[in-house]
Structure 1
Amino acid sequence: MYFTIRKRRSNSVLGGKDNNCIMAMSGLLQELRCPICLEFFNNPTTLPCEHTFCHSCIQGTLVAQGPRCPECRATFLQDQLRPNRILRNMVDRVHTELGVGTCPMHQECLRMFCVTDQRLTCVVCRDAKEHYGHVFQPISEAAATSKEELNMALGFLLKDNSALKKLISLQRLEIQKTKDNCHHLLDNIGVQFKVLHQFLRQREQQLKKEVKDQERELLTPLEQHLLQMEQTLKERLKMEEILQAKVDLNEPNHFQQWWIDEGSLVIEGLKNKEQNTMTDLYKSEVCELQMSPDVGDSISLGPYLSHLQFFVWKEMLKVIKPVPDRVAVAKRSNSCLVVSSDSRSVRHVDSRTRWGSATGGPEFSMCHTWSDEGFRAGKHYWEVDVGKKSHWSLGLDAQSASSRDAVCRLNSSFGKHRVRSAREILVDLQVRPTKIGTFLDCERKRVSFYNADDMSLIHSCSYDTDKSLFVYFNPGFYFKGENADPLVVIWY
């Protein structure tokens, strides 16, 4: 009996402890619920006042009633919201312990999906007050709808990623193409300069050989003459030594005997056989062996000496390939232009001189011309000397059935330069060019203008026509002779 009572008391005590644990656990679970939606925290977010809510709930409250805490009404700023990682970890642990398919509030199976709250619920939750008026779906139906949307998104992502992969592949090809083009250009530069270096080295050796040959030709007689002078001096120094020794001889007998035996003959050999005056008593070897004429300055390369680089540059044109195109200016009838006989230059003439009056000549629109031949393929470059002209226009026109249409032109008017293509652009040039270089790339359909004085780029423009392109020349208004200088095509 005692044992039974003790056992019952023991069970009663244990049962009380279990109830206390359950109540404590229930209270703990309540602390993990959002005060707004009464569900377990979803991405818990803490305010500066230390109250915590679901992130979506506080965002909805923020829109509905402004930045105030739903519990204490304290104000806050949007950037003061902080995620509560401790609560999030606790909620995740509760979900794990209770099981994914069990309602944490009612311990019922989760069979419904609340479309309004975007939550899984049980049947009891569906009928609860907090879900009044909400839209519900069976989980299987909601999952099918979600999976359909997922498949659509996945299909889009697969298609978009495939397109992105192709784009990446094309970009890599473009990068490789750019690298290949750069390597090709580098190799081409190396080859071109190798030709120039080889020419310069050969020409340097040729010019040095010419100087060496001239040196040898001039030095041979000079050195032979020097050798003869040195031999004569050697003999006369020996004679000087003998005579000096006899001058110092103080014994008259010995001296006179030497004079009879040798001295008179030696002195006689020094005398000039064809003397005219006393000054010509002795024959001078200096007169006989005069220094050769001044030939040191006769070594010369002609103009190469002072203009070496210029003449070598001219010679380099023979090995430079290609050189600028020799564009020929076409002659036009009924025009106020005069083209030179070699078709290299064109200038504007005074209309009063040519046509008899200031208004009797053609309009300015007629005061332009083109090249004899057009370009349709390949790469071409030419230069035009504009000098100090105040007004001119150069460019390219496309051939049409009845006229020629402007493709790209560079216009200069009193120091201001404009490029006219699809639209007109004002070009700011720091240095006023005196020569204009034009590069036409028919493959890329691109025209580039350069300051040929320093090869700085002025402007580039593209075109889309497949017609033949002709070089356009307009020397500008006459301006009473102030702009009378011609446009001259530079032929190399």
Structure 2
Amino acid sequence: MILRGSSADEVRLQTGTQDLTCSICQTLFTDPVNLLCGHSFCRQCITDVLSVKQQCPHCRTDVSIDVKCLPTSHILRSLAEKAKEAEKKNRDKVEVNVMQVADLCPEHEEKLKLFCVTDQQLVCIICRDGERHEGHKFKPVKEAAASLRQELVHGLKNIGGDILTTESLVNTQKEEITKTKDKAQQLMIQIHRQFEEMHQFLRKREDEIKNELQVKKEDAVEKMSEMLNTMESALSKLRELEVKATSVLEVKDPEVFLKSWTEGNNMVAPEQLFRSRAIELQVVNPSVSMGPYESHLQFFVWKEMLQVIQPRAELLSLKRDSANLTVSGDGRSLFCTHKNKQTQHTSFQFGHHYWEVDVGHRDYWSLGIEDHFLSYDGQKFTTCTSNINTELDLADSPRKIGIYLNCSCLKLSFYNATNMTHIHTMSSGPMAKPVSALFALKYRTPDHNPMTVCWY
């Protein structure tokens, strides 16, 4: 009933204020003025309109008088102010009514005297006895408010410390984001520089090989050109001799014949003039060969580039720690005699490390670091830690395994070193002390296939 009465008052108020509303700003008049045509507007509103066009917005009547000269309509202003006061009272009344309604149960229109602890909501007596709140815990409103207030005070104390902790985490996270961006930028520059070094090497070798080919081509062409000039000179002389001999043979008189032939021949005997010159000539065909660069250019240049890139391959010295193991003379290979055996040597605690192991066709091996390694038993590949073994599904059986250890982020990765395909990456765990590279192999008869290690 209260809402319906309020709505009726609002309708009456709206009806009474329609004539007190400026048609330009659509609000109650503020400092109203009347034009000569009889229409009323707020002084500022009509001033803005007339500054664009000197006509009444309603009837289009020309307005020649300055609005500043128009007197304020005190009657309209008084009525507008009363309407504004009535409007404000009506709004206050509606707010009070809404608050009164809010204190009542929306379902039963009863006062909300209880607080359901289970559902965390205000309820009335009827709600408490209803099926929806059956078995729930209730408290009087004042008691529930006091309890909640106490919880909020306690919560505020805790949240203060939590805010400080979270702020610290936020700052730390921001620092990590900055570090990551900086690290990525450094890596970007490093990658660009290293690729540029390879590009420079390749461009230099390309120019050198092309220049070598150019020199060989020019040398070969020069030799062939010299022989071509010799051939063309001989051919010219032969044709001259052919023409002269043909002409002389047409002379019938013996004296004239002999005189015609011997003239200009410097007394050279015919057998000497008509000797074969072709047998003295031979086509020169020097081979322009670039050796292995013709068929294996990429392979040879790649091998050359291995000598200039960093890091270079280095020898990894293996030590014998069992009578069942034999270390090769160069310190790079291991042979097993009777038992499965693991050997460790070089230790790591900091930095980045990469090494490759040529396992060949061995049917058993384990590679990595102590307590974290990749194992092969002849049928399946398994990653092993101190407490977890995970079987891997590999399409091919690698003959050479690459192991990359990043001590800074505690990651151990395995690769097929033949084509650098990634096999698996595992967390190596915190390194409280230096760890060693691990190699394990199995004896077989005869054992002619050693495990060879190359360090980078």
Range of TM-score over shorter length: 0.5 to 0.7
Are the counterparts in 2 of residues 324 and 491 from structure 1 also a CA contact under 8 Å? Answer: yes
Alignment TM-score, normalising by the size of structure 1: 0.59
- Whichever residue aligns with residue 262 of structure 1, its letter is S
| Structure-2 residue corresponding to 1:284 | 276
Q: 2:375 aligns to what SS in structure 1?
A: strand
1:136 to 1:339, Cα distance in 2 relative to 1, 3 A: closer
| Structure-1 residue corresponding to 2:342 | 368
| Structure-2 residue corresponding to 1:489 | 453
Determine the C-alpha separation between the residues in 2 that align with 1:443 and 1:458: 21
Q: CA deviation at 1:436?
A: 0.8
- 1:259 equivalent to 2:257? Answer yes
Determine the C-alpha separation between the residues in 1 that align with 2:308 and 2:185: 24
1:272 to 1:93, Cα distance in 2 relative to 1, 3 A: farther
| Structure-2 residue corresponding to 1:315 | 304
Q: 1:490 aligns to what SS in structure 2?
A: strand
Determine the C-alpha separation between the residues in 2 that align with 1:233 and 1:442: 80
Q: CA deviation at 1:266?
A: 6.3
| Structure-2 residue corresponding to 1:439 | 404
Query: 1:329-369, CA deviations, whole angstroms, 9 ceiling, x for partnerless residues?
Result: 11234x212111111111112x4xxxxxxxxxxxx36x332
Query: 1:410-436, CA deviations, whole angstroms, 9 ceiling, x for partnerless residues?
Result: 211012111222322222212111111
Question: Which of 425, 430, 434 does residue 464 from structure 1 map onto?
Answer: 430
Pairwise mapping of residues 32-431 of structure 1 onto structure 2 (< 5 A)? 95-96=94-95, 98=97, 100=99, 114-116=113-115, 135=140, 137=142, 166-245=168-247, 252=252, 259-265=257-263, 269=268, 271-273=270-272, 282-288=274-280, 290-294=281-285, 296-297=286-287, 299-333=288-322, 335-349=323-337, 351=338, 364=339, 367-371=341-345, 373-396=346-369, 406-422=370-386, 423-431=388-396
Query: 1:373-432, CA deviations, whole angstroms, 9 ceiling, x for partnerless residues?
Result: 322322111101001111111222xxxxxxxxx331221101211122232222221211
Determine the C-alpha separation between the residues in 2 that align with 1:332 and 1:369: 7
Q: Flag structure 1 segments of 5+ consecutive residues without an equivalent.
A: 1-24, 30-91, 106-111, 122-132, 274-280, 352-363, 397-405
Determine the C-alpha separation between the residues in 1 that align with 2:440 and 2:123: 83
- Give the fraction of aligned pairs with identical amino acids, expressed as a percent: 30
- 1:451 equivalent to 2:443? Answer no
Q: 1:180 aligns to what SS in structure 2?
A: helix
Q: 1:283 aligns to what SS in structure 2?
A: coil
1:182 to 1:27, Cα distance in 2 relative to 1, 3 A: closer
1:104 to 1:207, Cα distance in 2 relative to 1, 3 A: closer
| Structure-2 residue corresponding to 1:129 | none
Determine the C-alpha separation between the residues in 1 that align with 2:102 and 2:202: 93
Determine the C-alpha separation between the residues in 2 that align with 1:104 and 1:418: 69
Determine the C-alpha separation between the residues in 2 that align with 1:321 and 1:379: 13
- Whichever residue aligns with residue 440 of structure 2, its letter is N
Count of aligned pairs: 346
Are the counterparts in 1 of residues 227 and 284 from structure 2 also a CA contact under 8 Å? Answer: no
Q: Flag structure 2 segments of 5+ consecutive residues without an equivalent.
A: 6-90, 105-110, 125-137
Q: CA deviation at 1:242?
A: 4.0
Q: 2:230 aligns to what SS in structure 1?
A: helix
Q: 2:240 aligns to what SS in structure 1?
A: helix
1:293 to 1:96, Cα distance in 2 relative to 1, 3 A: closer
Q: CA deviation at 1:158?
A: 6.6
Q: 1:330 aligns to what SS in structure 2?
A: coil
Determine the C-alpha separation between the residues in 2 that align with 1:489 and 1:26: 93
Alignment TM-score, normalising by the size of structure 2: 0.63
Determine the C-alpha separation between the residues in 2 that align with 1:488 and 1:102: 88
- Whichever residue aligns with residue 213 of structure 1, its letter is V
Query: 1:45-95, CA deviations, whole angstroms, 9 ceiling, x for partnerless residues?
Result: xxxxxxxxxxxxxxxxxxxxxxxxxxxxxxxxxxxxxxxxxxxxxxx9974
